[in-house]
């Protein structure tokens, strides 16, 4: 019984630590931002970090990590992208980039709902490897789409124009998102079974 309790507490501690580390990773990614001309939405590494955390930690822990990240930002901690054009603290969630931020928990969840990669050692057969890559790519793609839909919806509400919202927050980022997908798929395919086995 005592052994079971110790193991349970150890697992809980590992999971809580993973949730915190995931939130910190996204906060660090938010600091890497490139302003783009003609749009208040900067290009950041956040979407990549969100989907990486979701894919590695799994649906529940990934979403919890993003909720923690949003709570940290809403509380006024400097975890959102620094920009004179964007509102600080909880007001950021209701501003021009708030839709993207609010979509993070759902996107992290989506990146992980593909069938689990059960074993690091399942390398037999090219078809199986291809299926794993396809599942991961689908999860990343759906996550990116959800982030864009969240951002587009809020921008459309604020601007009153869906077309203008797309020009500000969707079209300038498509090429970068394709690159993120290309980078994330092999990383997640390789690391996800190892990380999830420890959670």
The CATH number that applies at residue 100 is 1.10.1760.20
Average pLDDT, the chain: 89
Lowest model confidence (mean pLDDT) among 15-24, 69-78, 118-127, 150-159: 118-127
Q: Give whole-number Cα distances, 54 to 47, 58, 172, in Å.
A: 11, 6, 24
Q: How confident is the model at residue 119, as a pLDDT?
A: 41
Specify the range with the lowest mean pLDDT, choosing from 67-76, 78-87, 111-120, 188-197.
111-120
For the ranges 11-15, 29-33, 100-104, 123-127, the lowest mean pLDDT is seen at 123-127
Distance from the first to the final alpha carbon of the chain:
21
Which comes out higher in pLDDT, residue 38 or 145? 145
- Number of continuous H segments (helices) and E segments (strands) in the chain: 7, 2
Query: Over 70: is that where the pLDDT of 127 sits?
Result: no
Residues 28 and 15: beta-carbon distance below 8 Å: no
Helix (H) or strand (E) holding 44: strand 43-44
Beta strands in the chain (DSSP E): 33-34, 43-44
Look up residue 177 and give its two tokens.
């998102």
Enter the pTM of the model. Answer: 0.89
- The two structure tokens encoding residue 86: 């964007």
Mean pLDDT of 4-10: 60
Facing residues of 44 across strands?
33
Going by pLDDT thresholds of 50, 70 and 90, the confidence category of residue 84 is confident
The helix-helix angle for 59-74 and 2-30 (nearest 10°) equals 50
Helix (H) or strand (E) holding 151: helix 126-159
Say yes or no to pLDDT of 51 above 60. yes
pLDDT of residue 93: 97
Residue ranges making up the domain that contains 143:
2-197
36 contacts 83 by C-beta, under 8 angstroms: no
Supply angle C-alpha 46, 40, 19, rounded to 5: 20
Query: Could you give the CA distance from residue 178 to residue 144 in angstroms, rounded to a whole number?
Result: 9
Tally of domains within the chain: 1
Q: Average pLDDT, stretch 137-143? A: 94
> 1 pLDDT exceeds 60?
no
Give residue 60's Cα distance to chain centre: 13
């Amino acid at each position: 019984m005592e052994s079971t309790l110790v193991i349970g507490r150890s697992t809980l501690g590992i999971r809580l630590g993973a949730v915190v580390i995931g939130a910190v990773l996204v906060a660090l990614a938010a600091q890497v931002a490139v302003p783009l001309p003609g749009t208040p939405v900067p290009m950041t590494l956040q979407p990549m970090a969100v989907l990486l955390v979701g894919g590695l930690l799994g649906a529940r822990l990934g979403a919890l990590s993003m909720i923690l990240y949003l709570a940290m930002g809403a509380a006024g901690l400097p975890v959102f992208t620094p920009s004179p054009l964007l509102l600080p603290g909880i007001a950021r969630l209701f501003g021009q980039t708030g839709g993207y931020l609010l979509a993070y928990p759902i996107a992290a969840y989506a990146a992980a709902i593909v069938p689990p990669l059960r074993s690091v050692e399942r390398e037999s057969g090219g078809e199986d490897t291809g299926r794993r890559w396809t599942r991961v790519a689908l999860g990343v793609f759906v996550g990116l789409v959800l982030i864009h839909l969240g951002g587009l919806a809020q921008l459309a509400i604020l601007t009153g124009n869906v077309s203008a919202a797309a020009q500000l927050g969707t079209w300038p980022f498509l090429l970068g998102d394709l690159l993120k997908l290309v980078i994330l798929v092999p990383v997640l395919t390789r690391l996800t079974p190892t990380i999830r086995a420890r959670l």
